[in-house]
Amino acid sequence: MDKTTVTFTWRGALEGAKRCLPIEISGFAIGLVFGVLAGQAGLSVVESFLMSALVFSGAAQFVVLGLWATPLPVAGIALTTLVVGLRHLLMGAALSPFFSKLSRLRAYGSVFFMADENWALTMSEFSKGKRDAAFLLGGGLAMFASWTTSTLVGRTVGGFLREPARWGLDFAFTAVFLALLVGMWRGRSDLLPWAVAALVAVAAHHLLPGQWYILLGGLTGSLAGAVRRGV
Amino acid sequence: MVFDLQALLAILLMALATYATRAGGLWLASRLTLSGRVEAWLDHIPGAILVSIVAPTVLASGPAEALAGLAVVLVALRTGSLPVAMVTGVCAVLVLRAVA
C-alpha cells in the first residue's frame, strides 16, 4: 500500500464535512439530549458548553454525567474520562502511517477533532486509496460545530427530549458503523480478526463496566489479524 | 452561577485526558518502525474497533437490534449510501422495538 503521498487540502476538508453530514445531523440530536441531561445533572449553561467544546467526546461526556454530584469527584471524573478515551490510542495508531507524513501542527491539531465517526470515515477513505488527510479535520470541525451548538440548544430549551432510545436515535451510530464495516470488508483475511473482536467485545461488555469492551475487542481483534499474517 | 471552579477544573482535566489519548496513539505509533507485522496490526485496527463498537448492540441485545442490523447491512451492500443506511437502521429499530 502506498502511503507516501499524503495531501492536506481544502478540498479534502470540505469533502470530509460533506460526507459526515448524516453524522452531524444525528450528532445534533444526541447533543440536544446531552444538553438536557447536563442541565439535570447540575451543569450550568457555560459549563455544558465548555465541556462539549473542550472535551468533544460524547462517550466520555455522557459517562461523567453519572458521576456529577456535590462534592464533585474531580479525580474520578478525570480518570473515567481517560479510561473511556483509551480506544483513541488505537485509533491514533491506525492514523499514524498517514498522519506521520504531515506537519506536527496539522497532525496534532487534526486529532483534537478525531471522534469515532469521522475517524471511521477517514479510515474507510484511506482503505479505498484516497490520501487526503484533511478529510478527518473537515468532518471533525463540522461535527464540532454541530455538537457544541446542539449542547447549547439542548441545555437551554431542550426539555422535551429525554430518552434517545424512544426515537431510535441510539441506533443511528450503530447503523453508520455497520454500513462503514460493509465497505471495509476485504474478504477472508478479515474473518478471524473481526470474529475475535466481536467475541471479545460481547464478552467484555457483559462482564466489565463502562467502555472497556471497545478497547479490548479492538486490541485483540487487530492483534489476531497481525499474528495470522505472520504465520 | 455561571460556573464553579471545581466544575471548571474537572472539565479542564477531562479535556487534557481526552486529548492525551487522541494524540498519544499517533505519537507512540509514529515512533514504531513499520515492520510487516506492525503494519498488519495497524491495518486491522479500524475493522476490529468498529466490530467491537457494534457487536454488543447488534449481537447481544435482542431480536429488534439484530434484525435492524441485518437490514442496515443489506441496504449498505445494495446502495453503498451512508445516509440511507442510517435512516434504515433508525426506522427499522423503531418499528421492530414496537412489535418485538
Cell numbers given for A224: 489476531
Q: Report the distance separating Cα A186 and Cα A198, nearest Å.
A: 17
The model's pLDDT over A95-110, given as tens digits with 9 standing for 90+, comes to 999 999 999 999 999 9
pLDDT of the residue at A231: 46
- The CB density around residue A183, as the number of other CB atoms within 10 Å, is 16
Residues of A with CB below 8 A from B21's CB?
Answer: 82, 85-89, 92
The model's pLDDT over B29-84, given as tens digits with 9 standing for 90+, comes to 988 877 888 888 888 998 999 999 999 999 999 999 999 999 999 999 999 888 89
Contact A114 B22 (CB under 8 A): yes
- Rg of chain B over CA atoms, in angstroms? 20
- Of all residues in chain A, the one with the smallest CA distance to B77 is A182
Q: Report the distance separating Cα A222 and Cα A220, nearest Å.
A: 6
The minimal CB distance from A96 to the residues B6, B26, B83 is found for: B26
Q: A19-23, A60-64, A128-132: lowest mean pLDDT where? A: A60-64
Can you say how many angstroms the Cα of residue A180 is from the centroid of all Cα atoms in its chain? 13
Q: Whole-number mean pLDDT of chain A?
A: 90
Q: Are A91 and A114 in contact (CB under 8 A)?
A: yes
* Position B1 pLDDT exceeds 50: yes
Contact B45 A94 (CB under 8 A): yes
Contact A123 B46 (CB under 8 A): yes
The minimal CB distance from A91 to the residues B44, B49, B69 is found for: B49
Percent of chain A with pLDDT over 70: 94
Contact B86 A175 (CB under 8 A): yes
Instruction: List % helix, strand, coil for chain B (3-state, nearest 5).
Output: 85, 0, 15
More confident residue, A203 or B32: A203
The minimal CB distance from A174 to the residues B25, B42, B89 is found for: B89
Residues 6 or more apart in contact with residue B98 via CB below 8 angstroms:
none
Can you say how many angstroms the Cα of residue B97 is from the centroid of all Cα atoms in its chain? 22
Residues 6 or more apart in contact with residue B68 via CB below 8 angstroms:
A171, A175, B89, B92, B93, B96
pLDDT bin (cut points 50, 70, 90) of residue B5 is very high
Q: Report the distance separating Cα A131 and Cα A107, nearest Å.
A: 14
Hey, where are the domains in chain A?
10-184, 187-231
φ/ψ of residue A163, rounded to 5? -100, 105
B54 touches chain A (CB under 8 A): yes
Residues of A with CB below 8 A from B24's CB?
Answer: 88-89, 92
pLDDT of the residue at A180: 85
Q: Report the distance separating Cα A228 and Cα A225, nearest Å.
A: 5
Q: Report the distance separating Cα A78 and Cα B45, nearest Å.
A: 26
Contact B14 A78 (CB under 8 A): yes
- Write the single-letter amino acid at B35: S
Q: A142-156, A201-215, B49-63: lowest mean pLDDT where? A: A201-215
pTM: 0.84
pLDDT bin (cut points 50, 70, 90) of residue A69 is confident
The model's pLDDT over A18-47, given as tens digits with 9 standing for 90+, comes to 999 999 988 898 888 889 889 888 999 999
More confident residue, B43 or A134: A134
